[in-house]
Amino acid sequence: MSRLAEFIFRRRGRNGWHWTDIFTWVWLIGGLFIMFGPAVWLVGSSFKSPAALAEFPPSIMPYVTQKATIEGYDKPLDLYEVTMPDGSKKVLAEVRRIGIVSQMVSPEKPTEIVKVKIAERTPVRTMSFATSNYSEPFTHFDFVRYLWNSVFVTVTATLITLIVNSMAAFALSKYEFRGRTFAMLLILATLMVPLSVIMVPLYSIVSALGLFNNLWGVILPTVATPTGVFILRQYMLTIPDELIDAARMDKASEWQIYWRIILPLTAPALAVLAIFSVVWRWNDFLWPLIVLSRKELYTLQVGLSIYSGELNVQWHFILAMTVVTMIPVVLVFIFLQRFITTGIAGTGLK
């Protein structure tokens, strides 16, 4: 056991704990709570009923107060466990509360009112997951639409990105032509032109093309990513030129060379770009917010932000839908994190 502990808490100091060892573990454990805590809290909260959400102090787990329907009362009444004057405990239902005194009835004898000080009763609560937070937005609200819009934008934009960027990368890595360096520099220069700088004229161009309030207006401006061209080109440069010569001798057209030789061999880099593109497009916010003004066109991000900005925020739905919005990204994180981290470390792209 101590051997294991020794292994886990490998230290700098050969005898005893050096202050850096303590600092390291404080930082790591603190980081664990700060980084994961908020998301975990969000997920936990998303299963609470609106009443439980309004409670302060909040409970860790989603509880609801048990209710019982009692003869003579229309609405179901909250059940409480009450400590009686004689020290025994009883479960009573609250009829109404006046100041610090609660009027209660016993389910067995609905006619007899018992007065109890509120300090002497605690609600009878059971754990219950408010799955309606999830199911209702899907049936009563537009969330299915938003979800579909987001999926459509993400998938379409990623596919187009992969094709258009890989074609450009092929031209820039395997052909000699005048202006190649210029084209490459032009593409890299666009890294310096972020959306926030050109949103006004871009909006007018998208409108002029009739793409305002159109999902294609969200998709098209994003697909020619300079980073995508760049990483694909770097990768294609490692494919030997002789393969292309061989294919030309084999009577392949240039399109076939691209499609049947270059693309399959670039698969690892395409996978990295695909993952990034999915995350980028799924998370896009400002541009869809500008281009989409009709409710039925909102993507999840826009829909969520609009709903959360309303005066009367329905937090139970917002929280649940935030969790739904997180799911694809969390899946990417769990299964494909390795690709992403090596991609970032290798190219510094985000």
Partner 1 sequence: MKADVPKGSGSGLGETAMVPVRLAMAAIDAPLRFVQRRLGIGGMATFFLLPNMLIFGIFVLLPFFINFAYSMTGGTALFLPDRSFVGGDQYARLFDCANYADPNSCAEDTFWTAVGNTAWFVVLQVTLMILFSLVTALILNRDLMARSFWRAVFFFPVLLSPVVVGLIWKWILQRQGLLNFGLYGLGFEPYTWLNDRNWSFAATVGVSIWAHMGFYTLILLAGLQAIPKDLYEAAEMDGTRPARAFWRITLPLLMPNLLVVIVLVLIRAVQIFDEVYVLTGGGPGTSTLYITQYIYETGFATQLRNPGLAAAASILMGGVLVVLTLVQLGLGRKGEKKGARK
Partner 2 sequence: MGHIKLTSVTKSFGAVDVLHDINLEIQDGEFVVFVGPSGCGKSTLLRMIAGLEKPTGGELSIDGKVVNDVPAADRGLAMVFQSYALYPHMSVRQNLAFGLENTRMPKAEIAERIAEAARMLEIEAYLERRPGQLSGGQRQRVAIGRAIVRRPVAFLLDEPLSNLDAELRGSTRAELAALHARLSATMIYVTHDQVEAMTLADRIVVLRAGRIEQIGTPLELYNRPANRFVAGFIGSPHMNFLEGTLEAAGSGTAVATLKGGHQLQVPIENRAFAAGAPITLGVRPQHITLDAGENSIPAKIRLVEALGSETVLHADVAGQKLLVVAPGQHDLAPGADIRLSLTAAPIHLFNDKGLRLERAV
Positions 29 through 58 that interact with partner 1 (CB under 8 A): 31-32, 34-39, 41-42, 45, 53-58
Q: Which is nearer to partner 2, 135 or 238 (CB)?
A: 238
Give min distance, CB of 234 to partner 2, in A: 19
The count of other CB atoms within 10 Å of the CB of residue 184 is 17
Contact flag: residue 235 with partner 1 (CB under 8 A):
yes
DSSP lists the bridge partners of residue 81 as 91, 122
**Of 39, 43, 5, the residue nearest 21 (C-alpha):** 5
Helix (H, G, I), strand (E, B) or coil at 124: coil
100 binds, among partner 1, partner 2, none (CB under 5 to 8 A by kind): none
Contacting partner 1 (CB under 8 A), which of 95, 171, 213, 339?
A: 171
Give min distance, CB of 231 to partner 1, in A: 8
Contact flag: residue 28 with partner 1 (CB under 8 A):
yes
Give min distance, CB of 102 to partner 1, in A: 23
> Helices 143-174 & 132-140, crossing angle to 10 degrees?
80
Give min distance, CB of 131 to partner 1, in A: 19
Contact flag: residue 183 with partner 1 (CB under 8 A):
yes
CA 338 from chain centre, in angstroms, equals 18
Give min distance, CB of 193 to partner 1, in A: 5
Contact flag: residue 265 with partner 1 (CB under 8 A):
yes
Binding region for partner 2 (CB under 8 A)? 240, 242-243, 245-253, 256, 260-261, 264-265
CA 324 from chain centre, in angstroms, equals 7
Give min distance, CB of 114 to partner 1, in A: 31
The count of other CB atoms within 10 Å of the CB of residue 239 is 16
Contact flag: residue 197 with partner 1 (CB under 8 A):
yes
Percent helix, strand, coil in the chain (nearest 5)? 60, 10, 25
Distance CA(285)–CA(280), nearest Å, equals 10
Structure token digits, residue 306: 């609009």
DSSP lists the bridge partners of residue 93 as 79, 105
Contact flag: residue 17 with partner 1 (CB under 8 A):
no
DSSP lists the bridge partners of residue 83 as 89
175 binds, among partner 2, partner 1, none (CB under 5 to 8 A by kind): partner 1
Q: Which is nearer to partner 2, 93 or 244 (CB)?
A: 244
The count of other CB atoms within 10 Å of the CB of residue 313 is 11
Q: Which is nearer to partner 1, 9 or 73 (CB)?
A: 9
